[in-house]
Amino acid sequence: MADPALIQLAVVHALQQGSQERQLRRDWSGRSLLVTAGPTVEALDPARIMSNRSSGRMGVMLAQAARWRGARVEMIHGPLQLPDAWLEGVSCHPVESAQEMETALIDLQPDMDAVAMAAAVADLRRRGGALAEKPAKAALASVLSGEMEPVPDLLVGLAERRPPGQVLLGFAALSGQADSLLERARHKLVAKQCDFLFANPIDQPNQGFGSQRNGGWLLRRNGTEDQFLPQCKLELANRLLDEIALQLPAL
């Protein structure tokens, strides 16, 4: 029998679908979805890391909602802050660093109908990898000075490698005023060459890392945009899956 925590989540999913027809829909049957979730972790030395506050909830909700709608789901995830039961039924590939996530993406991407890049990849890492020994606190800044490098943009890599017909959803965690945020999100959509970009303002209530809810703006490659008010991440996951499904080629 499934874990009670997963059963509870499945009940919430069914209730959110509303009508009996929507509750029973399997519109992702015969489809496959690759999801990334959670943070990546870049080791600086045996004790210290570079990472972020992502819990992985948004990616896991996408994975489970797609599975309940009939999809074959593969999920690459960093360290999660969620019940283990929420991962039941999903083919999981745990990683830590951005390099490990990229390797898994290269391996899994070719056979997928769609990819949802919900992971929050760390921005910086130490050039050459982690130090073998832990520097003293007083020496850390000088030891690391000039040794940090940007982590490659995994979303751009997905866009460059994707096969014909594959649909790509990216996420952008941003902060600031709405006008500025949207302008930056539009630039990211073009630069990263994805079909959809969900921009969520992490400095607003109920929309940041670790929250049970999320909201923001969905930007489409065709130039249209919609604002999604803060809502349960499982509900948002289903709305995003609706958008992706409309772009998938007919079976």
Reported as a single tens digit per residue, the pLDDT across 169-180 is 999 999 888 889
Q: Is residue 182 part of a domain?
A: yes
Residue 1 pLDDT level (bands cut at 50, 70, 90): low
Instruction: Calculate what percentage of the chain has a pLDDT beyond 70.
Output: 96
Total domains present in the chain: 1
User: Residue 229: inside a domain, yes or no?
Assistant: yes
In this structure, what are the phi and psi dihedrals at residue 95, rounded to the nearest 5 degrees?
Answer: -140, 175
pLDDT of 73 > 80? The answer is yes
pLDDT surpassing 80 at residue 19: no
Question: What would the mean pLDDT of 154-180 be, rounded to a whole number?
Answer: 94
Task: Evaluate whether residue 137 is within a structural domain.
Answer: no
In a domain, 2, yes or no: no
List Cα–Cα distances, 37 to 72, 178, 211, 222, 232, in angstroms. 16, 25, 14, 26, 17
In a domain, 133, yes or no: no
Q: Are 127 and 156 in contact (CB under 8 A)?
A: no
**Domain contains 38:** yes
Assess if residue 48 is contained within a domain: yes
In angstroms, the CA 233 to CA 9 distance is 11
Asked if residue 226 belongs to a domain, the reply is yes
Active site (annotated) includes residue 206: no
Domain that holds residue 156: 24-125+142-247
pTM: 0.93
What CATH code is carried by the domain that includes residue 60? 3.40.50.10300
pLDDT in tens, 88-139: 999 999 999 999 999 999 999 999 999 999 999 999 999 999 999 999 999 8
204-251: per-residue pLDDT in tens? 887 878 889 999 999 999 999 999 999 999 999 999 999 999 999 887
Which pLDDT value is given to residue 111?
95
Determine the residue type at 89. Answer: G
Among the listed residues 52, 206, 222, 238, the single catalytic one is 52
* 46 — pLDDT class (breaks 50, 70, 90): very high
